[in-house]
Amino acid sequence: MRMATVEITKENLTETVENNGVVLLDFWAEWCAPCRMFGPVFERVSEKYPDAVFGKVNTEQQRELAAGFEISSIPTLMALRDGMIVFAQPGALREKEFVEVVEAVLALDMEEVREAIAAQNAR
């Protein structure tokens, strides 16, 4: 059985996103009290969804990644599906809310998402 959460660094981000359909990222820092509150929630929910990758990005150690994703407050939760960011929200979520986000990301019809993006870009 794999570890429920993985540490994401600039070295493993691309491979993680390319090799997994659903990736949820928790951008956090040691000094951040809401991050410490959300950490156990992130961990518990990760154990319920073995088909998704739950990655933790320490914004102090991975400043380039935090800047690249334009993280301005932490914790920030981000979800990627098929390499596309489909959800991003700052703030700690309650477990029930986080489960709803995960379920929604897993339920996305990516064909519809791609068509919507293509239509938006065509404007």
Does the active-site annotation cover 13? Answer: no
Could you give the CA distance from residue 78 to residue 120 in angstroms, rounded to a whole number?
22
Selected catalytic residue, list 24, 35, 77, 92:
35
Selected catalytic residue, list 22, 32, 71, 79:
32
Nearest to residue 7, comparing CAs of 46, 51, 49, 37?
46
Could you give the CA distance from residue 118 to residue 123 in angstroms, rounded to a whole number?
9
Does the active-site annotation cover 35? Answer: yes
Residue 57, phi then psi, degrees to nearest 5:
-115, 110
Residues serving a catalytic function are 32, 35
